[in-house]
Structure 1
């Protein structure tokens, strides 16, 4: 059976001197692994399209449970990301997080759109890496079934308070007035601006998702809370995340 799909390469594994196993994110079938035979040979038509971040129209052949790439016509290769080590390290983390959380064998249109938009903004410099990272983390993990409840305080139901405590384990908010005996280390304090940004990331339409601003201090807090939420919910870290963080200035 043959099928055509627009997919972005989110992981690659070298099989031998010539072949490559590629993990794609397809809008129609989500995460799919496919063999790219001869992709590493000089002059191969599959070479660039099957590298990390390659976004192409793939023709896939399926035999039993195995996919093979017949051909690929490149849509975008994101050279502006590949040529900048900080951008590339962040993009590698976004792809690893995507591979870990996006669905396999079912549609992933919103996940693909999110990743492509973030890579485009990263490549063009319209949004910084520091802005894109927490936005992608929170939106992607929410699309994948780990959406926190940021509507109101769990206890009193208030939408606005001067200070909220966010609990990464449960994904819930408790206002400081209700949380009379909080346990240190189990929650994160959220200022109104950071909570507003998190709500925007969760609930905004795709067209308006990137249209918010934060002070540098608030952006640092947003970065910390989103990263912690991802690690807590998935019970793991990522080597690509560790590498990206090591690239940042102290």
Structure 2
């Protein structure tokens, strides 16, 4: 009970009454925390600019019975680029929703807090073209820290370490060798090179991931496996996933239209 100061990231907000907001924070010190920000929906309120996803700040939380109450707030990072770019916003919302769905209140996990913060900085500062592979790297790291990591070095059934294993199952939890394939659930074929890309995404820091070449076919396979792995741990679908997919699709259409226009420009090489 009493006032507690925490460093945290806003991962969800929900309107309460006429002027308040319930704010979910993922904090370094206490894990997930929920508190009421009084008057946060009024433009001139001191919490108006802080009670927004994905603000990173220092907060004073008064813990009483039930929900806490925000009593103080100090901005650390606003992630301005995320908040003014719809594609980055979509990635940040999916990131925040994952933490909101999968974290329990009052269970601190410093490594998961650091992963959240570093991933937000990466989304905020990286090129659009790198965001898909960077987010796949996040998903692999997140699953591992949550205790649901995919086995990428040996068959999950028999322990076979053959480097040419080419089947992977999110439902079984990792690689499946040819001998164990019969009867395996949800196995999909992936070239050994695709598995190697997954290992590098998992074990490399974001700076190295940004420089890693990932083909479109590898991306499709890895994204599907990771989405299935995450959804297996969730009690309800991720609402922000459809928004992200629509943003990515819209950007791809815009880029294709731009390339077509460039090709039709008078004097262009054909």
- Give ranges in structure 2 of 5+ residues lacking alignment: 253-270
Kindly indicate whether the alpha-carbon contact (under 8 Å) linking 1:193 and 1:214 is maintained by their aligned counterparts in 2: no
TM-aligned CA deviation for residue 248 of structure 1: 2.1
2:174 equivalent to 1:172: yes
> Within 5 A, what are the aligned runs for 1:18-57?
18-57=19-58
2:14 equivalent to 1:13: yes
Pick aligned residue for 2:208 from 199, 202, 211: 211
Larger Rg, first or second structure (1 or 2)? 2
Distance 2:235 2:43 in 1: 41
Displacement over 6 Å in runs of 4+? none
In the superposition, relative to structure 1, how do residues 80 and 13 fare at CA in structure 2: closer, same or farther (>3 Å)? Answer: same
TM, length-normalised to structure 1: 0.88
What is the aligned residue count? 245
In the superposition, relative to structure 1, how do residues 155 and 25 fare at CA in structure 2: closer, same or farther (>3 Å)? Answer: closer
Distance 1:197 1:61 in 2: 46
Kindly indicate whether the alpha-carbon contact (under 8 Å) linking 1:58 and 1:69 is maintained by their aligned counterparts in 2: yes
The alignment's C-alpha RMSD in Å is 2.2
> Within 5 A, what are the aligned runs for 1:1-250?
1-125=2-126, 128-176=130-178, 178-179=179-180, 181=182, 186-202=186-202, 204=203, 208=205, 210-212=207-209, 213-217=212-216, 218-234=218-234, 236-249=236-249
Distance 2:243 2:32 in 1: 24
Distance 1:70 1:236 in 2: 32
Distance 1:198 1:116 in 2: 22
Kindly indicate whether the alpha-carbon contact (under 8 Å) linking 2:57 and 2:75 is maintained by their aligned counterparts in 1: yes
Distance 1:122 1:60 in 2: 28
TM, length-normalised to structure 2: 0.82
In the superposition, relative to structure 1, how do residues 43 and 3 fare at CA in structure 2: closer, same or farther (>3 Å)? Answer: same
